[in-house]
Amino acid sequence: MYSDKVMDHFRNPRNMGEIDDASGIGTVGNAKCGDIMRVYLKIENDIIEDAKFKTFGCGAAVATSSIATELVKGKTINEALQITNKAVMEALDGLPPEKVHCSCLAEEALQAALWDYAIKNNIQITGLKPPAEHHE
């Protein structure tokens, strides 16, 4: 059902925790499944120096949070915007159809953290949309 990579990131999540002086924090949730993700980003000179997460949810939610934080570390803000749910799923060698929404949450949490960073710094990030008010 789950790929070896999903199981590895579930059993040994990378970057779990908080960043005390985070540049941006994004929190998203899915009311149907109860998954909640919070992503913390530390951004210096347009580079994501560090990324951490806290996730309340299923194994796939933990795995997608873990891989998403791995994918953004060391990237520029514009590169981070290219990390879509599809990229998250590919990095995990796929997800079962009923767990695809977890990869969408990971993408949304990253973008919400970037939005928070933009607001705090009074900047505009081309291509970044405001976080959705509610999630289905």
Which listed residue (63, 77, 92, 102) is catalytic? 102
The domain limits of the chain are 4-119
Cα four-point dihedral sign 43, 48, 52, 56: positive
Q: Phi and psi dihedrals of 13, rounded to 5? A: -65, 140
Mean pLDDT confidence for 12-35: 93
**36/62 Cα distance (integer angstroms):** 10
pLDDT tens-digit profile of 48-72?
A: 999 999 999 999 999 999 999 999 9
CA distance 135 to 127: 20
- Tokens standing for residue 134: 């509610």
Residues 65, 103: contact at Cβ < 8 Å? no
Q: Which CATH number fits domain 4-119: 3.90.1010.10, 3.30.390.50, 3.40.50.150, 3.40.640.10?
A: 3.90.1010.10
**Of residues 16, 33, 100, 118, which has the active-site annotation?**
33
Tell me if residue 58 is catalytic: no
- Predicted confidence (pLDDT) per residue in 73-120, tens digit: 999 999 999 999 999 999 999 999 999 999 999 999 999 999 999 999
pLDDT at 121 over 90: yes
Tell me, yes or no, if 104 is annotated catalytic. no
